[in-house]
Amino acid sequence: MAFKFYSKINVPELPENVNWNEYTFRQKTHEVHSQTKTIPLIWDEKLKGEIIYHRWYSYFEDFLSTLPLGLGYIQSAILIKLPAGKCIPSHIDSAPFFKKYSRIHIPVTTNDECFFTVGDETKNLKVGEIWEIDNDNQYHSVVNGGTTDRIHLLIDFFRYPDLIISTHSRLLLNESIIHQGKGIYYGCFENYVISRRDPDFLVNIKTGEEHVIPSKFTHDCIFNQGKIYIADTGNGRIVILNKDFTVYKIHSIFTVQNHVNTLLFDQGVLWCLLHNKGPSILVGIDPETGERLKTFNNVGVQSHGLVRYNKGFLILSSAESHLIHLSDTGTIKVLCSVPGHFLKGLASKGNLVFFGASPPFPRGNRGDPGLMCDLVCFDLEKKIIVSKTKLQTCGLLNNII
């Protein structure tokens, strides 16, 4: 792929007091860009992946936040002017930085004699068009043969891996609806998702096949070594099914008040997070006998989500609006907060953690089709929230895998 077209949008007018001669690092450092001029918005000169905001970012912030690029975050955003009669010679962007990001170009001003070549393909890009180019695998160049300047907004965009997101009304693959209209959606594995509608079902989202499960007010399900483990929240049980959906075992070891809501298999131990309608508890059990092997008390308040990480667990202290780390020795550390929001749904992909953040609302309104939740991305290495993306959840965000 040399060029990939996304859509066309209205671009903002540039402020009259922009000084194109103020910032010279890029054109002085990189010979290939010596005929250009630059206005940095989000820009890390060292290409180390830092997100550094510059003077003019605030002017373009609203525009950048609404670009239809999919789920991800903007790592770099710069305005580049190529004056009339100038060119950018053919080159490949070869630094490791460029392998991680999608290179986006949006013309702000241009003319009919500006030509962008990537590989063997040459195009005249029009104002407001959003294009992705293959800048790290193919040679590319630009010629401005017109009598007016060419200005592009250049963006390096980090695209998130695929996420399956369960909400109170629909199942999403990233931002696309893949299932809806079958009750409240919760935990999922492979092609199956919990559909909570009394009775509760496991629904195959590919075939539509449905299986009633012996569980009430179900919150989670996971698959491990040929068995399906279900958090039977409404009965205080762990239900274990065979792959053919017949019952293998049922462990009646919790109470309804415990409100078991998240399951995780790790090194032969089935970890069960108990929301507890207050100070939460994490319990590790023997999946065969149901025997309690280890217990951590006070692991947040009304907690959800469970991910193994760095000799411990990542957990959402939902009522406190915190993402926390619980070490194997019982030490708790707050990693980040989203004040005033109820956190739910937790998944990790490499060094990135994703979770849902919902605004305050009455419990009875969790299925409100007007309720939109944020997908928050936290970088475990940088220790920062790198993005918050509002999703058309049409109800509370419940689960992410």
What residue has token string 């540039």? 14
The pLDDT of residue 359 is: 86
Amino acid at 12: P
CA dist 282 to 206, 240, 328, 330, Å? Answer: 33, 19, 11, 10
Token pair 């936290």: residue: 378
Mean pLDDT by 10 residues, the chain (401 residues): 93 92 93 96 85 91 92 95 97 86 96 96 97 90 97 96 94 93 92 93 94 97 97 98 97 97 97 96 98 98 97 97 98 97 96 93 74 93 92 92 94
Give the pLDDT confidence score for residue 366 in this predicted structure: 75
Give 57-102 as a 3 state SS string: HHHHHHHHHCCCCCCEEEEEEEEEEECCCCEEEEECCCCCHHHHCE
User: Is the pTM above the cut of 0.85?
Assistant: yes
Tell me, what's the pLDDT at 46?
Answer: 81
Report the candidate in 198, 251, 201 with the shortest Cα–Cα distance to residue 221.
Answer: 201
Instruction: Give 221's strand partners.
Output: 230
Q: What type of residue is 164?
A: I
3-state class (DSSP) for residue 393? coil
What CATH superfamily is the domain 164-400?
Answer: YVTN repeat-like/Quinoprotein amine dehydrogenase (2.130.10.10)
pLDDT tens digits, one per residue of 366-394:
777 778 899 999 999 999 999 999 998 98
- pLDDT score of 47: 78
Structure tokens at 338: 């989203």
Q: With the C-alpha atoms ordered 185, 188, 191, 194, is the resulting torsion angle positive or negative? A: negative
- The CA distance from 79 to 37, in Å, is 8
Per-residue tokens: 71 = 């789920």
Q: Same fold for the domain at 3-159 and the one at 164-400?
A: no
Distant-in-sequence, close-in-space partners of 356: CB < 8 Å, separation ≥ 6:
165, 343, 344, 345, 373, 374, 375, 376, 393, 396, 397, 398, 400
- Domain extents in the chain: 3-159, 164-400
Rounded to whole angstroms, how far apart are CA atoms 357 and 341? 6
Q: Who contacts 292 (Cβ-Cβ below 8 Å, separation ≥6)?
A: 253, 283, 284, 285
Span 15-52, pLDDT tens digits: 989 999 999 999 999 999 999 999 999 998 887 777 88
Report pLDDT for 278: 93
**Chain centroid to CA 230:** 25
* Dist CA 159 CA 100 (whole Å): 9
Q: Which residues of 155-168 are buried (b: 16+ CB within 10 A; e: fewer)?
A: bbbbebeebbbbbb
Sheet containing strand 3-8, strands side by side? 3-8, 129-133, 102-109, 150-159, 72-82, 37-42
For residue 136, what pLDDT is reported?
A: 82
Q: What is the dihedral of CA 168, 243, 164, 281, to 10 degrees?
A: 70
Can you identify the CATH homologous superfamily of domain 3-159?
A: B-lactam Antibiotic, Isopenicillin N Synthase; Chain (2.60.120.330)
Distance (Å, rounded) from C-alpha 209 to C-alpha 214? 17
